[in-house]
């Protein structure tokens, strides 16, 4: 792979664009109404679950090959490709019909296959961006400056993502509500008569705009490593597969990246499971749906406020202490979920809401530190692959657990309207025990197999 000379100016240029790309790519306006939007289009809950499984499967299949291709053919090409796929993903959603109760079988079939296409495009887009954008920014800095410059880049990214998330959450929920949109337009003398079927797609239109913005940002990025010029695509793919296997062997042989990825798997799976079911938990606390976006925006504001804390922890504390803090944050939140007592239960939930930002920051900081440039995007993609696999497994286990409790409560004669929430409450009661067992297993692995502390592994040569 050919290299382009890095410089501080190039590093700052790519880092600034990397932050813009991450914000435009990830801060999506439909997130506060995600599940509701799928159902309002006319899909069933079962179809929604199946589509999300398809999305995760596409990411798992393409995660590592896309990272290897980024390392071999150029990271910028993959980032541009991911933005193009995002534009197509939003366009497909805008073309999808809104199917009411009187929709014909043909309309429902068209709706289903358009959403299938949307999930495939979305998963491919996520896989292409994963690792490539971060490697493109990190490697633009001269090697001597990376360890000093990267923590600040991550802190700036955390603040920018928090602002983007707040804006996307607030605006996306606002424009989705046809009645609220009509009232706001009426205040300025416009009688638009917006229908729910029309406002349903307003967040998607906003996301199409940000997708185009992400594409424009990606086109301005500068490649720091190039593949062999003029080589056939088939040869590039074969080499990418070789790179994938080599990177996999390297991760398994290298204690530091292996342990860091395992830590990411352990914490990320539980945090993402919570985020997946958070609306159900808020409902368990008797919090109205209108407050869900406010809670998310509040967590984002706290995340922005703690960006400086994460940067100082990365500079002054060891990896072992920093990840123990993340583990404690997750544990406090999971234990608090065992005893839901209304709005007060949100206070001990704050560490869990913030833990994802701390985890992502520390993983990026330390994994980039222990990974050499030639395989950086591939290893970062391995991280994404392993986390998606773990999340899928934990979600599946949760689904089985909930189904078992639902069956038990039905057998006891509980009213059907109460079964789902009762099974959910019973399920989350056991989460801290599962979490404690995985923590214990990781500690035993670290002591027995790795023969050292996390700080020793991260600083150990090779």
Are residues 161 and 298 both part of a single domain? no
| Weakest-pLDDT range from 169-183, 221-235, 316-330, 365-379 | 221-235
Does 283 lie in the same domain as 187? no
238/278 same-domain check: no
Q: Are residues 242 and 113 in the same domain?
A: yes
| 279 and 233 share one domain | no
Mark whether 441 and 460 lie in a shared domain: yes
Which of 62-71, 104-113, 449-458 is modeled with the greatest confidence? 104-113
Residues 26, 63 within the same domain:
yes
Residues 6+ apart with CB under 8 A from 318: 454, 455, 458
Instruction: Pick the more confident residue, 430 or 139.
Output: 430
Q: pLDDT per residue over 17-31, tens digit each?
A: 999 999 999 988 887
Of 211, 236, 253, the residue that ends a domain is: 253
pLDDT at 432 (0 to 100) = 93
pLDDT (0 to 100) of residue 179: 80
Across 111-127, average pLDDT:
93
The 3-class SS string of the chain reads: CEECCCCHHHHHHHHHHHHHHHHHHHCCCCHHHHHHHHHHHCCCHHHHHHHHHHHHHHHHHHHHHHHHHHHHHCHHHHHHHHHHHHHHHHHHHHHCCCCCCCCCHHHHHHHHHHHHHHHHHHHHHHHHHCCHHHHHHHCCCCHHHHHHHHHHHHHHHHHHHHHHHHHHHHHHHHHHCHHHHHHHHHHCCCCCCCCHHHHCCHHHHHHHHHHHHHHHHHHHCCCCEECCCCCCHHHHHHHHHHHHHHHHHHHHHCHHHHHHHHHHHHHHHHHHHHHHHHHHHHHHCCCCHHHHHHHHHHHHHHHHHCHHHHHHHHHHCCHHHHHHHHHHHHHHHHHHHCCCECEHHHCCCHHHHHHHHHHHHHHHHHHHHHCCHHHHHHHHHHHHHHHHHHHHHHHHHHHHHHHHHHHHHHHCCCCHHHHHHHHHHHHHHCHHHHHHHHHHHHHHHHHHHHCCCHHHHHHCCC
Give the model's confidence band at 462: pLDDT under 50 very low, under 70 low, under 90 confident, else very high: very low
**Residue-number span of the structural domain to which 110 is assigned:** 1-253
Taking only the tens place, the pLDDT of each residue in 330-341 is 999 999 988 877
Provide the domain count of the chain. Answer: 2
Whether the pLDDT of residue 417 is over 50: the answer is yes
Mean pLDDT of the chain: 81
- Confidence category of residue 7, pLDDT binned at 50, 70, 90: low
Q: What is the pLDDT of residues 132-168, one digit of tens each?
A: 888 888 888 887 787 788 888 888 888 888 888 888 8
Mean pLDDT throughout 333-357? 87
Domain boundary among 220, 253, 286: 253
CATH number of the CATH domain containing 429? 1.20.1250.20
Counting residues of the chain whose pLDDT is more than 70, the rounded percentage is 87
Residue 67 and residue 160 in one domain: yes
171, 196: one domain: yes
Same domain, 244 and 261: no
In a shared domain, residues 311 and 457: yes
Q: Which of 225, 253, 281 is the last residue of a domain?
A: 253
- The per-residue pLDDT for 390 is 83
Model pLDDT, residue 92: 96
Backbone angles phi, psi at 190, to 5 degrees: -110, 120
Binning pLDDT at 50, 70 and 90, where does residue 1 land? very low
- Considering the domain architecture, whether residues 82 and 202 belong to the same structural domain is answered as yes
CA distances from 83 to 56, 73, 122, 150, 367 (A): 18, 17, 10, 24, 25
Question: 247 versus 259: which is more confidently predicted?
Answer: 259
């Amino acid at each position: 792979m050919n290299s382009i000379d890095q410089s501080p100016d190039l590093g700052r240029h790519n880092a600034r664009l990397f932050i813009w790309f991450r914000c435009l790519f990830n801060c999506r306006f439909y997130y506060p109404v995600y599940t509701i939007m799928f159902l309002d289009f006319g899909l069933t809950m079962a179809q929604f679950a199946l589509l999300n499984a398809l999305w995760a499967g596409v990411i798992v299949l393409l995660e590592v090959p896309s990272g290897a291709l980024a390392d071999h053919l150029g990271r910028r090409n993959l980032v541009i490709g991911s933005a193009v796929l995002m534009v197509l993903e939003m366009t497909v959603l805008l073309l999808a019909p809104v199917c009411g109760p009187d929709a014909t079988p043909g309309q429902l079939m068209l709706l289903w296959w358009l959403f299938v296409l949307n999930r495939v495009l979305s998963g491919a887009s996520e896989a292409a961006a994963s690792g490539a954008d971060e490697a493109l920014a990190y490697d633009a800095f001269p090697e001597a400056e990376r360890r000093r410059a990267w923590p600040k880049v991550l802190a700036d990214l955390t603040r920018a993502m928090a602002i983007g998330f707040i804006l996307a959450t607030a605006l996306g929920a606002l424009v989705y509500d046809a009645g609220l949109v009509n009232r706001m337009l009426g205040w300025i003398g416009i009688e638009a008569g917006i229908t729910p079927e029309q406002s349903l797609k307003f967040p998607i239109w906003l996301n199409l705009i940000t997708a185009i913005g992400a594409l424009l940002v990606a086109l301005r990025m500068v490649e720091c490593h190039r593949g062999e010029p003029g080589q056939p695509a088939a040869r590039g793919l074969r080499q990418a597969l070789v790179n994938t296997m080599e990177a996999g062997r390297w991760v398994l042989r290298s204690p530091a990246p292996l342990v860091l990825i395992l830590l990411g798997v352990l914490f990320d799976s539980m945090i993402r499971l919570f985020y997946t079911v958070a609306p159900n938990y808020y409902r368990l606390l008797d919090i109205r749906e209108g407050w869900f976006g406010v809670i998310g925006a509040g967590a984002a504001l706290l995340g922005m406020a703690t960006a400086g804390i994460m940067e100082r922890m990365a500079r002054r504390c060891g990896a072992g202490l920093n990840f123990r803090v993340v583990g404690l944050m997750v544990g406090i939140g999971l234990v608090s979920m065992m005893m839901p007592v209304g709005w007060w239960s949100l206070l001990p939930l704050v560490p869990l809401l913030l833990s994802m930002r701390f985890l992502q920051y520390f993983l990026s900081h330390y994994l980039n530190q222990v990974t050499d440039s030639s395989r950086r995007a591939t290893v970062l993609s391995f991280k994404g692959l392993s986390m998606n696999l773990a999340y899928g497994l934990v979600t599946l286990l949760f689904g089985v657990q909930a189904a078992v409790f639902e069956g038990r409560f039905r057998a006891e004669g509980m009213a059907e309207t109460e079964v789902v929430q009762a099974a959910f409450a019973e399920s989350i009661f056991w989460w801290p025990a599962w979490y404690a067992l995985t923590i214990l297993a990781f500690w035993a692995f670290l002591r027995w197999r790795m023969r050292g502390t996390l700080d020793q592994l991260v600083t150990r040569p090779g």
